[in-house]
Structure 1
């Protein structure tokens, strides 16, 4: 099943052809999301936490509802104000290799510690929806720093928890979405360079995890103005999805609705004003977002 948030943050189920959406807001047990404060987003976190009991009513509502063409709605970011956005670093070997040259070109040196897998935090306020646009900070451009795209599979946490065993980690995953980890190449702190407003586009849908989809072997393709920049399979991750969840949970409690970016594939590169970025992950969908002029 694929879910999306649309218009005034109503909850929708995407039709099998990916062309329509069925409003299932009324199937939620609490106040409809468009009447709730999106900054507290309690209904959204409850959906992620309680999916096992809510899946049936939502599935039933989708079966009897009338689809609305996607062209007639505005898709929002398919996650509301997570308590944190976690991101994995150095999780594809070919990306680790290319970063030696990227750092040498953009920083004039290399930082060996950055080539080891780890996790860091991005500001939740950096999240934006699939329509974008990505806004490049003028002061960063004036300073001559490059701003790069990083297309990534994004985990949406379900029940969450602390010190989750890797063997059961997938049970704590609600679903997956498409994400871009927009990144300034500068000497600044990693979290700062990745936390500007609009630097975490996600969408357009969440693919709910089930027995047929666990994010383990999905293709990622990113084009910039129709030029292929990144093309990889998630089976090439150094640290797998369950292992990422388990590792992060040993450091911090994962809360329902938290997001985890799983790492940048090789092929990172600069983006510029006016460009169009199209990111596709098999089994989830395609996110098209622009860079503001």
Structure 2
């Protein structure tokens, strides 16, 4: 099942090129993106709510997708976690990127780890990504990083690897927009609009394998990034387990799983199109 948030944070089930409004199937729904308790409850209690939402999707009229405004398919997570240095080819290319943009290579940044991005950096598939004028004035490059995004369901602390996928609510397409500068990693990635997510969530089930997904990013039609998640150094279950040993994962939390090789600068006026097989395509403008 594919779940989207649209218009004024309505909940919809996406079926082909149409969407069914199932908002009233979530009895605790309220249109308050800042508290978003109903959304986190949906992530936590999905197993119990799924039959009701599935029934609503079958019994109600649908709307054309191009007739609604898709929002980011997550609401005010308690945290946005991101994995660093999680594709070998990306680690290799970062030596040249850091030499060019920083004048030196930081070896510690070449090791896998997780860091935090500000939840306020999240934006939806309709974008745009806004390049901060002060950053541009300082001459720093701003890069795209297309990534598989994990949305936590029940969450927990010290989650074993073999139980990690049971704690996942679903998956989405994401961009981890990044300033290449000497500043702290979290700061460089936390500007408003620097975490586009969309166009919807593919709810986790036994048929969906997050370790066998094709990721493709084009910029104005030119291929920039192309990889399969089989190449992740730390798999999705390992990332979830590792992060949970550092911090408690709460329902609705977001995890970016790492940048593939092919990162590069973006400029105002460009169009980024990111596709992940089995999930969907997100088109985002830059200004």
- Same fold flag (TM > 0.5): yes
Give 1:49's aligned residue. Answer: 44
Give 1:8 shift: 0.4
Distance of 1:89 and 1:138 partners within structure 2? 26
**Is the 1:10–1:33 Cα contact (8 Å) retained in structure 2?**
no
Give 1:70's aligned residue. Answer: 65
Give 1:22 shift: 0.2
Secondary structure in 2 matching 1:33 = coil
Q: Is 2:178 the counterpart of 1:180?
A: no
Distance of 1:74 and 1:278 partners within structure 2? 17
Give 1:90's aligned residue. Answer: 85
Distance of 1:3 and 1:258 partners within structure 2? 16
Q: Alpha carbons of 1:119 and 1:234: their partners in 2 closer, same or farther (altered >3 Å)?
A: same
Give 1:29 shift: 2.4
Give 2:149's aligned residue. Answer: 154
**Is the 1:126–1:195 Cα contact (8 Å) retained in structure 2?**
yes
Give 1:212 shift: 0.7
Give 2:104's aligned residue. Answer: 109
**Is the 1:25–1:33 Cα contact (8 Å) retained in structure 2?**
no
Give 2:11's aligned residue. Answer: 11
Distance of 1:48 and 1:109 partners within structure 2? 42
Give 1:23's aligned residue. Answer: 21
Distance of 2:209 and 2:54 partners within structure 1? 19
Give 1:215 shift: 1.2
Q: String of CA shifts for 1:153-174, please: whole Å, max 9, x gaps.
A: 0000000000000010000000
Query: Structure 2: any 5+ residue segments left out of the alignment?
Result: none
Give 1:67 shift: 1.0
Give 2:190's aligned residue. Answer: 195
* Aligned equivalent of 1:257, options 248, 252, 256: 252
* Aligned equivalent of 2:55, options 46, 55, 60: 60
**TM-score normalised by structure 2 residue count:** 0.99
When the two chains are superposed, the root-mean-square deviation of aligned CA atoms in Å is 0.5
Which ranges of 4 or more aligned residues in structure 1 deviate by more than 2 Å?
none
Give 1:33 shift: 3.3
**TM-score normalised by structure 1 residue count:** 0.97
Q: String of CA shifts for 1:15-54, please: whole Å, max 9, x gaps.
A: 1x2x110000011121x333xx210100000000000000
**Is the 1:78–1:206 Cα contact (8 Å) retained in structure 2?**
yes
Secondary structure in 2 matching 1:203 = strand
Distance of 1:231 and 1:250 partners within structure 2? 31
Q: Is 2:262 the counterpart of 1:267?
A: yes
Distance of 2:59 and 2:226 partners within structure 1? 38
Q: Is 2:285 the counterpart of 1:285?
A: no
